Amino acid sequence: MIRLLIADDEDLLRSALAALLALEDDLTVVAEAATSTDAVRLAREHRPDIAVLDLEMPPGDGLRAAQEIRAELPTEVVLVTRHARPAVLRRALSAGVRGFVPKTTPAARLAEIIRDIAAGRRYVDPDIAGSALAEDDCPLTERELEVLRAARTGASVNEIAVEVHLAPGTVRNYLSAAMSKLGASSRHAAAHHAWQQGWI
């Protein structure tokens, strides 16, 4: 029997997925979580064979929960996402995630993928893998990436300046240059875009 943890902040989707997977003879759902924090806590408590985590789950995200679970437990992780960003795929694979699937995956197919992962294999959706191979190069400098990484937390210009050891005016210049290169309307939008692309 393959023991599963299902984590998704959308109650209806989580409940439906758990019910559908529980219909499979060799799968059992031992826990359900609505947040990434609960996913990690319940994984520690129940030690499932596989955790199926929604990537966009608050607070933080499912990838952070996956990293924490993989760091502490032998539990394998499948990330499920609505927005299949290639850069996130690379982060997920480096964190030891064994499966990466879109939310459009039928429950029966997901059950097959779970069995494959339980047997030691890996599954990455072919469309996501194809996008990862075709991704553009990063147009930003190392310094621009550094200030965007700090900006992603919602820090002020002065806080970013302290973190990266630069003058506030210099930070503003780097942020402005990054926003211009990315066609972003704010530093937060630029930081989010850079994160989506896997540059920070």
**The pLDDT of residue 80 is above 80:** yes
Distance separating alpha carbons of residues 185 and 125, to the nearest angstrom: 32
Task: Please tell me the predicted confidence (pLDDT) of residue 110.
Answer: 96
pLDDT of 103-123, one tens digit each? 889 999 999 999 999 999 999
Q: What is the mean pLDDT of the chain?
A: 90
pLDDT of 32-42, one tens digit each? 999 999 999 99
Average pLDDT over residues 118-135: 83
Cβ-contact 37, 29 below 8 angstroms: no
Count CB neighbours of 169 within 10 A: 9
Band of pLDDT at residue 194, cut at 50, 70 and 90: confident
Task: Please tell me the predicted confidence (pLDDT) of residue 192.
Answer: 87
Predicted TM-score (pTM) of the model is 0.71
Residue that is written with structure tokens 């920070």 in the block: 200
**The pLDDT of residue 92 is above 90:** no
Residue type at 54 in one-letter notation = D
Lowest mean pLDDT among 79-83, 109-113, 154-158, 188-192: 79-83
Residue whose C-alpha is closest to residue 103's, from 80, 129, 126, 71: 80
Burial tier of 84 (Cβ tally within 10 Å: 0-12, 13-18, 19+): buried
Q: Which domains does the chain have, with CATH numbers?
A: 2-133 (3.40.50.2300), 142-196 (1.10.10.10)
Distance separating alpha carbons of residues 7 and 3, to the nearest angstrom: 13
Beta-strand runs (E) in 8-81: 27-33, 50-54, 76-81
Distance separating alpha carbons of residues 34 and 18, to the nearest angstrom: 12
**The pLDDT of residue 85 is above 80:** no
Task: Please tell me the predicted confidence (pLDDT) of residue 84.
Answer: 64
